[in-house]
Amino acid sequence: MHALLGLALAATTVMGHSVEHRPIVMKRVGDPAAPRKVLLVGCVHGDERAGRRLVGLLARVTPPAGSQLLLVRDLNPDGSARRTRTNARGVDLNRNSSTGWAGAGRRPWSEPEARALRDVVLRERSAVTIFYHQPLAVVDVPSVGSARLSRRYARVARLPVRRLPTYPGSLSRWENARVRRGSAFVVELPRGPMSDVAVLRHAAAVFALAGAP
């Protein structure tokens, strides 16, 4: 955890806007030339917001050498404002991708929030992407590719590993199919806000993946 003591070199960009035109912000933390990128999405469902605290902490610290953190604190600002799972049009963003799409939204990628995430993933091609949800308190195993990254995260964060159902149109499922097999996975945090101890454990788990291939 010694790396958490340093102050971060950070840059903020607006990666897109929500249905109600709230900005969706991404912070780049660490060396812009770093070869290894780790993308974190703190909130996809507006009623599952605990991951935002972890992402907020990571925006203020220096990641391991050779890595850069791409931090999206809230992909669904309209849902967060309402405390609803869906966005302002009532669409579940984690069912709106083109992989296995089954009717969430008018068509795959119909929602501006989902498209903003898609564009970042395709442009950055991060080595690891983690989506935070609640309240199952498990780390999911990717539906395709190796489970090595998710299992390493689970060991450090002290959460069990479990294969969740293969949901239609999920963002992590799309990324694993489209960009890099096994690189994207879901961390289901427990119900309620994250404690100080939990935040530090999960930050250490992120660093464990950022610092070693």
> Mind listing the pLDDT tens digit for each residue in 109-143?
999 999 999 999 999 999 999 999 999 999 999 98
The alpha carbon dihedral of 76, 46, 202, 193 has a sign of positive
CATH number reported for the structural domain that contains residue 15 in this entry: 3.40.630.10
- Tokens for 101, please give them: 């799409």
Query: Domain range for residue 59?
Result: 2-211
Q: CB–CB of 69/16 below 8 Å?
A: no
Q: CB–CB of 137/188 below 8 Å?
A: yes
pLDDT mean over 155-184: 95
Q: Shortest CA distance to 67 belongs to which of 3, 152, 156?
A: 3
- Tokens for 12, please give them: 């903020």
Question: Considering all CA atoms of the chain, what is the largest pairwise distance in Å, rounded to the nearest integer?
Answer: 47
Domain count, the chain: 1
Cβ count near 49 (within 10 Å) = 22
Half-sphere exposure (CA, 13 Å, Cβ side) for 210?
29
> Mind listing the pLDDT tens digit for each residue in 54-92?
999 999 999 999 999 999 999 999 999 999 999 999 999
Q: CB–CB of 157/206 below 8 Å?
A: no
pLDDT band at 212 (very low <50, low <70, confident <90, very high): confident
Crossing angle of helices 112-124 and 171-178, rounded to 10°: 30
Q: Which residue carries 């302002």 as its tokens? A: 88
